Chain A
Amino acid sequence: MLRRRQLLAAAATLPAPALAQGAAPRPAQIVVNASGGAMEQLFRRSYFAEFERRHGIRVVATSPVDFGKLRAMVESRNVEWTVTELGGQDFMRAKELNLLEPLDFSIIDLSRYPAAVRDTHIFPSSVYSTVMAYRSDVFPTGQHPVGWAQFWDVRRFPGPRSLRNHPVDNLEFALLADGVPMDRIYPIDMDRAFRKLEDIKPHITVWWTTGAQPAQLLVDREVVLASGWNGRFFDIARRGAPVAVEWTGGSLKQNAYGIPRGARNAVWGQHFLQIMTMPELQAVYATELAYPGLHPDTPNHVSAEVRPHLPTSPGNIEKQYWIGVEWWTQNGARAQERWNRFMLRRS
């Protein structure tokens, strides 16, 4: 009895996560499934190292992210992953198909995260944004186009442009260019968006397909304005290309993680996700790739040079909107078909 009371007393002095530890058996390892590559090395340096240090449980990394495999694992009740990344827009489907454990908010603290990304099952790991980038030698910063209405203004800002060959983001950009306020984008009025896209179509010399393309097109001066993922522009700007980013009207998106339903040691998955909320660790990742985690303090932990390049930094995040994942999950196929027709029409 005495011993137990002593233990409880000791536990009371420990921080909350350590208390929860007492309840669950401690496995030798957990498995985190993600994209691999350079990302895995950054994870190893930050989240994995901290988790192993704090909980004494080894983290094993696997890849790639595979929605079909996740589904098969859950349905066959043989879940190898403790935590997995969820690709692109699969996270909504994963939740709809009931493939995920609910997040345990007594372990994971998301209270300071933006409301738009807080969810019962989907953990928002980091954020990226589709933004406008420009050649800063053609349009000196300060005299560059600000917002999509000015991207559409070919008289004031002449020169070839590039947008993605995909309806995602472009429908939103067209509506913003047409004067729709950011908080009124969804549900998207497709007729209006495509009408507006017709105006810019003759000035788009390249509809890009791969994420590396818009950055390369700007470097080669193939175009002077382009949409693209902020990390790609960060990378070329850091290597000296005269390319800068305008955040106004950027389209914020989250990368997502989840705990597969029926995962062994799911509790430790919750603890791992809690480690992923730590702003100091999110800063390691953000400094290399400019894809920060969503803790509001993360920008304070990166150097002053990197801070303006993060989509979540104060001054940047307010200028952007969160993409309507739900709208796209429901209307994606229809929008794509209409997009194909739009691309096919010669004009």
Chain B
Amino acid sequence: MSSAVDRAAPARAEERRWVWLALPAVLFLGALFAWPVLRLLAQAVEGGTLEHLEKAVLDELYVEVLVESLEIALWVTLLCLALAYPVALWMLRAGPWGRALALFMLLLPFWTSVLVRTYAWMVILGRNGIVNRSLLEWGVITTPLPLLHNLTGVLIGMVHVLLPYMVFPIYAALLRMDPDLPRAAEGLGAPPWRVFQRVVLPLSLPGVFAGCALVFVLALGFFITPALLGGGRIIMISMLIEQQVREFLDWPFAAALSVVLLVVTLGAYWGLQRLTGGNRLAAG
């Protein structure tokens, strides 16, 4: 225990010595991120009134939309995790060609606009879309499945956009794992399931949490995809903020809603960090 502390102390001193290297980035973020956010906070209480914030946290409409946005973000995060983990594991085992192919396929959607991808999903998932027409033709179903203009469509579209943000942190964490560790466990007679559960999974957790945090936070701010794939039935908080800004020019109230969203997001991030203990997220 004490030796670990001894080793940590000089490392921290070393860190401090190089901290000025971060100065340009800090100034950049300060001027272009922190300052505007503070201005936003100020606008929410413009005129010294808490009326806007009060409405944002007490009116059932906005509370309900916020809760629904959180639920959707959570679902998207869990679905991404379920899909991404096997992909990351496979990438670790795959040869160089397989890995290159996987990377290519993951990055390809990144180079396409979200709007285009969303319209593509409308073509695929519609009542007369590719999926439904094929299933009907094969006799699997007799009436088209409701895949679009509801929660299902929104989840599919959002998971598609956000999946890379989950795969890469997990893959990075797995890559950092000493390959001798699972081998040693195998050598000691652990069955594959056991090796995964006791060795691979715990070592990949920082990546898992980093991926979850990224996807959750990004999902909370979505609005084009849910507006188009949700058929109007899915309302996310960012859609209401946009409405206030663009249509009603009620910027103080838009600011109040943004503040609530910011606080909830930071709270979720903090909770996740507490849950995983300390700096794992940052390490991921």
On A, residues with C-beta under 8 Å from B are 160, 165, 204-210, 213, 216, 220-222, 332-333, 336-337, 340-341, 343-344
- State the Cβ distance, A203 to closest chain B Cβ, in Å: 12
- The reply on B160 being an interface residue by CB < 8 A is no
Interface string of B213-255 (1 = CB under 8 A from A): 0000000000000011001110100001001000110100000
3 smallest beta-carbon distances between A and B, as pairs:
A207-B232, A165-B232, A206-B231
A220 to B240, CA, bound (A): 29
CA distance A127 to B186 in the complex (A): 76
Known contacts A336-B243, A337-B61; decide if A343 and B128 are in contact (CB<8 Å): no
CA distance A329 to B126 in the complex (A): 36
Q: Is B52 interfacial (CB-CB < 8 Å)?
A: no
Among B8-35, those with CB < 8 Å from A are none
Minimum Cβ distance to chain B for residue A96 (Å):
13
A220 to B133 Cα, complex, angstroms: 12
A207 with B233: CB separation less than 8 A: yes
Nearest-CB distance from A330 to chain B (Å)? Answer: 13
Among B116-162, those with CB < 8 Å from A are: 122-123, 126-128, 148-149
In the complex, A333→B127 CA distance in Å? 34
Report the separation of the CA atoms of residues A336 and B243 in the bound assembly, to the nearest whole angstrom: 9
- Say whether B250 contacts A333, CB under 8 Å: yes
| A220 contacts B126, C-beta separation under 8 Å | yes
Question: Considering the chains assembled together, what is the distance between the CA atoms of A336 and B246 in angstroms?
Answer: 13
- The answer to whether residues A344 and B64 also contact, given A209-B227, A209-B228 and a CB cut-off of 8 A, is yes
Find out whether the CB atom of A222 lies under 8 angstroms from the CB atom of B61: no
Is B87 an interface position by the 8 A CB rule? no
Interface of chain A: mostly helix, strand, loop or mixed = mixed
Q: Can you list, as one digit per residue, whether each of B188-200 has a CB less than 8 Å from chain A (1) or not (0)?
A: 0000000000000
Take A221-B127, A333-B248, A336-B247 as given contacts and tell me if A344 and B65 are in contact as well, using a CB distance cutoff of 8 Å: yes
Q: Cα distance A341–B148 when bound, in Å?
A: 22
Considering the chains assembled together, what is the distance between the CA atoms of A221 and B247 in angstroms?
A: 31
Extra 8 A-B pairs, beta carbons < 8 Å, given A207-B231, A221-B127, A332-B248: A206-B231, A208-B232, A209-B227, A209-B232, A222-B148, A332-B247, A333-B248, A333-B250
Query: Which chain A residue has the least Cβ–Cβ distance from B59?
Result: A337
Smallest Cβ-Cβ distance to B234: which chain A residue = A343
Q: How far, in whole Å, are A332 and B122 apart by their CA atoms in the complex? A: 31
Q: Which of A204, A206, A220 has the most C-beta atoms of chain B within 10 angstroms of its own C-beta?
A: A206
Given the complex of chains A and B, what is the CA–CA distance between A133 and B122 in angstroms? 21
14 interchain pairs (CB within 8 A)? A205-B149, A205-B231, A209-B232, A220-B123, A332-B247, A336-B243, A336-B248, A340-B61, A340-B235, A340-B240, A343-B235, A344-B61, A344-B64, A344-B65
Residues of B within 8 A of A216 (CB): 122
Q: B65, B123, B232, B235: which has the most chain A beta carbons within 10 Å?
A: B232
CB distance from A200 to the nearest CB of B (A): 13
Are A343 and B232 in contact (CB-based, < 8 A)?
A: yes
Q: Chain B contacts of A332 at CB under 8 A?
A: 247-248
Interface residues of B in 148-185 (CB under 8 A from A): 148-149
Chain B residues near A337: list those with CB within 8 A. 61
List chain B residues, Cβ under 8 A from A340: 61, 65, 235, 240, 243
- B235 proximity list for chain A (CB < 8 A): 340, 343-344
Whether the pair A222, B128 counts as a contact (CB closer than 8 A) is yes
Distance from A176 Cβ to chain B, minimum over Cβ atoms (Å): 21
**With the chains together, A205 CA to B232 CA distance in Å?**
9
State whether A343 touches B127 (Cβ < 8 A).
no
Residues of B within 8 A of A222 (CB): 126-128, 148
User: Considering only CB atoms, which chain A residue lies closest to B127 in the complex?
Assistant: A222
- What residues of A have a CB within 8 angstroms of the CB of B123 in the complex? 220
Q: Which of B64, B126, B231 has the most CB of A within 10 A?
A: B231
- Give bound CA distance, A209 to B242, whole Å: 13
Q: Smallest distance from the beta carbon of A87 to chain B beta carbons, Å?
A: 11
Contacts of A333 in B (CB 8 A): 248, 250
A48 to chain B, nearest CB (A): 30
User: Please, which residues of chain B bring their CB within 8 A of the CB of A341?
Assistant: 61
Q: A208: nearest residue on chain B (CB-CB)? A: B232
Return chain A residues, CB-CB under 8 Å to B248.
332-333, 336
- Which residues does chain B contribute within 8 Å of A206, judged by CB atoms? 149, 231-232
